[in-house]
Structure 1
Amino acid sequence: MSSKDWIEKDFYAVLGVDKSASSDEIKKAYRKLARESHPDHNPGDPRAEERFKAASEAYNVLSDPARRREYDEMRSLFGSGAFRRGARTGQGGAPFDVSDLFGQAAGGAGAGDRRFGGGNFSDLFSSIFSGGAGGGTGRAAGPTRGRDVEAEVALDFTDAVRGVTLPLSLRAPGVCDTCGGDGAKPGTQPRPCQVCHGAGVTTRNQGAFAFSEPCRNCQGVGTVVDEKCPECRGTGGVTKTRTLNVRFPAGVADGQRIRLTGRGEPGERGGSPGDLFVHVKVRPDDLFGRTGDDLTLTVPITFPEAVLGTDLRVPTLDGAVTLRVPPGTPSGRVLRARGKGVARRDGPAGDLLVTLDVVVPATVSDTAREALQAFDEQTPSAAREHLDVRVRRNG
């Protein structure tokens, strides 16, 4: 990415965040845009693909604290317009451009020429910010790490608890299979650039300083393709679908992000590939819930079972377990089945928490009504005694 891109592109506006946004806010905004504009969700929509690329480019800069700081500094430097063409000298003179000044100092370049010693003025700052001063190669010519890729996978509740391996199909840039990534037509090879001699950069001396910039002849690659690959048109990369087998560990939770190192987009010029981040969404189960490593289950019991007690057989994810309901159990009591929750590879399994719900029938037979009335007469209750005292006191 050139310094011109940094100056002209408002990455904060691309992501829809304020300049003072935190790292978490930037990440959240990027994820939302990436999901909405991902090519898999918008097949055949070039505008969505452009939005996806723009969001990825903005996040690639703003997610790195060092690069974000450089970006903010450069935008601040040029924000006032002091170095732009058209800024006046203050005495009503002709438009002044700092690049014109350098062009004149280099000799042979007129005031209207924006080149500095044969290089664009923005390349001066590109060299400074990329370590190009002193004859260094700079970022543009060296290996570039591939971008990170994000995907979302929905898991069944049972698979999330037990762990599962699933195939994941991704549609993302990859190396062209026809040319092997070198961009040349099969049967031909790229040739070393005659301008930079394969280095990818050219260095220009200006007095006591030396400035490097990407070679304009080969675009910083170091090689030139005379006959381009018909598949990728000389770029060396194509958008294609690839399938990965992703292992989701036992106990993976809803909203968790799994990182697969080196499974993102391939790097450029020998750079390492980016990473793949898989966001997990867990579908709810019709019986079980989850709280951390514990599974939860609500079980209805009858009034006689609550009063007299019973042995209750309840399901688990891999079978069943018997729990003792003691006599006089109120509705809402929680019974615990130890070790029947979420299994962990690095620790003990969670528990199954069973909440008892005493069911009151809406209608009863005459015989049942008589039995309940007899039960009520034989079991006087002081459950509301504290309320009755207040009622009598208030008259």
Structure 2
Amino acid sequence: MSDDPYAALGLSKSATAAEIKKAYRKLVRSAHPDLHPDDAGAEARFKVITAAHDLLKDPALRARFDAGEIDATGAERPPRTYYRDHADAGGQGFAQGFGQRSGPTSRFGDFGDPSDIFAHILRQRARGGDGSYAQPGPDLRYTLEVAFLDAVLGSKTRITLPEGGNLEVQIPKGMQDGQSLRLRGRGGAGYDGGPAGDPLVTVQIRAHPVFRREGDDILITLPITIDEAVLGGKVTAPTIDGPVSVNIPKGANSGRILRLRGRGVARARGPAGDALIELRIVTPPGSDAALCDFLAEWRKSHADDPRKAMMQEAAE
């Protein structure tokens, strides 16, 4: 039996409280006697793991052990005198000592998480039960890639399960990237007659070539021509609900934002977001001789430097 609780959990003395808990929960699943009834050594391993965790999870006990004041069983270390003074001290076993020190608690330790299947075993043993338990089966996790508009507008799709069969998944309006959906009752089989677990489907949303999302707002970059920017006019713009007509104001510059109220992401509760249309002036493809000649003449009598103020501010 290990006399080093750190070694029992496969940890170093610098392990954090979170690392101790994680190691314990991982190891206990591989050694729990109720989960491994055919493993003759499971009981002994389980006692060692549980006793090690009981010591290290308590900051005060851990500090005393690290300082050499107590041993791995939690017993006080005797002063360095003659052996005969302590020959009858009779230390406790690794797991037994913790049971006595902590009072009338179960030998299964403190799992902390009430959703853990072992928490029920702990309660059963503490009450003198026979160790049987009816618990939900494990949740199964899946990843589902969804088109941008399907996530924004809502849709139905199906996923194929690794073990065969498929599940219909309802994507609600306004689903965001990384959110998960819980589908009741199609997860792992329950324990001792318990209900099945749930599939948890994490949604990954594909990028869209036109639309971007910021909260509940939809961002759209809209190209406009030079004449549309100078003269203004009506143009057609895309939205997630279909094309709409928008007014370009005279003298519009690239970067100007036009806001379309309520044309963004709609949710079951609360108002919908907006569509934010950012204007971007584009020049005609190729070389337009007539336009070049016009602008060359126009430049002669309309000299302007839109960067002048910027350059002055940058020099300050």
Deviations 1:212-247 (A, max 9, x none): xxxxxxxxxxxxxxxxxxxxxxxxxxxx43422121
Point out the more displaced range, 347-356 or 87-96: 87-96
Structure 2 counterpart SS, 1:289: strand
Over 3 Å counting, the alpha-carbon distance change for 1:349 and 1:133 in structure 2 is closer
Answering whether residue 195 of structure 2 is matched by residue 272 of structure 1, we say: yes
- Preserved CA contact (<8 Å) 1:89 1:95: no
Question: C-alpha displacement at 1:289, in angstroms?
Answer: 1.0
Answering whether residue 128 of structure 2 is matched by residue 136 of structure 1, we say: yes
Over 3 Å counting, the alpha-carbon distance change for 1:341 and 1:134 in structure 2 is closer
- Preserved CA contact (<8 Å) 1:12 1:19: no
Task: Give the aligned partner of residue 126 of structure 1.
Answer: 108
Specify which of 145, 150, 171 is matched with residue 136 of structure 2. 145
Deviations 1:286-326 (A, max 9, x none): 11111111111111112221111121111223421011001
Task: Give the aligned partner of residue 156 of structure 1.
Answer: 147
Task: Give, as a single letter, the amino acid of the residue that structure 2 aligns with 1:369.
Answer: C
Task: Give the aligned partner of residue 159 of structure 2.
Answer: 168
- Preserved CA contact (<8 Å) 1:148 1:276: yes
Task: Give, as a single letter, the amino acid of the residue that structure 1 aligns with 2:92.
Answer: V
Task: Give the aligned partner of residue 50 of structure 1.
Answer: none
Over 3 Å counting, the alpha-carbon distance change for 1:170 and 1:375 in structure 2 is same
Question: C-alpha displacement at 1:94, in angstroms?
Answer: 10
Aligned sequence identity (%): 30
Structure 2 unmatched runs, 5+: 31-49, 66-70, 97-104, 111-120
- Take 1:243 and 1:156, find their aligned partners in 2: how far apart are those partners? 19
Over 3 Å counting, the alpha-carbon distance change for 1:127 and 1:282 in structure 2 is closer
Q: TM-score, normalised by structure 2?
A: 0.63
- Take 1:70 and 1:250, find their aligned partners in 2: how far apart are those partners? 50
- Take 1:334 and 1:364, find their aligned partners in 2: how far apart are those partners? 29
Structure 2 counterpart SS, 1:167: strand
- Take 1:257 and 1:161, find their aligned partners in 2: how far apart are those partners? 15
Answering whether residue 288 of structure 2 is matched by residue 307 of structure 1, we say: no
Specify which of 272, 278, 297 is matched with residue 355 of structure 1. 278
Q: TM-score, normalised by structure 1?
A: 0.52
Answering whether residue 313 of structure 2 is matched by residue 331 of structure 1, we say: no
Structure 1 unmatched runs, 5+: 1-5, 27-52, 59-68, 103-122, 172-239, 391-395
Task: Give the aligned partner of residue 292 of structure 2.
Answer: 369
Q: CA RMSD for the aligned pairs?
A: 4.5
- Take 1:11 and 1:272, find their aligned partners in 2: how far apart are those partners? 34
Mapping 1:1-395, distance limit 5 Å: 10=9, 19-21=16-18, 72-73=53-54, 75-76=56-57, 82-83=72-73, 91=83, 98-99=92-93, 125-126=107-108, 130-131=122-123, 136-137=128-129, 140-171=131-162, 240-360=163-283, 364-381=287-304, 383=306, 386=309
Query: Comparing both chains, which one has the higher relative contact order based on Cα–Cα distances under 8 Å and sequence gaps of 6 or more?
Result: 1
Task: Give, as a single letter, the amino acid of the residue that structure 1 aligns with 2:268.
Answer: R
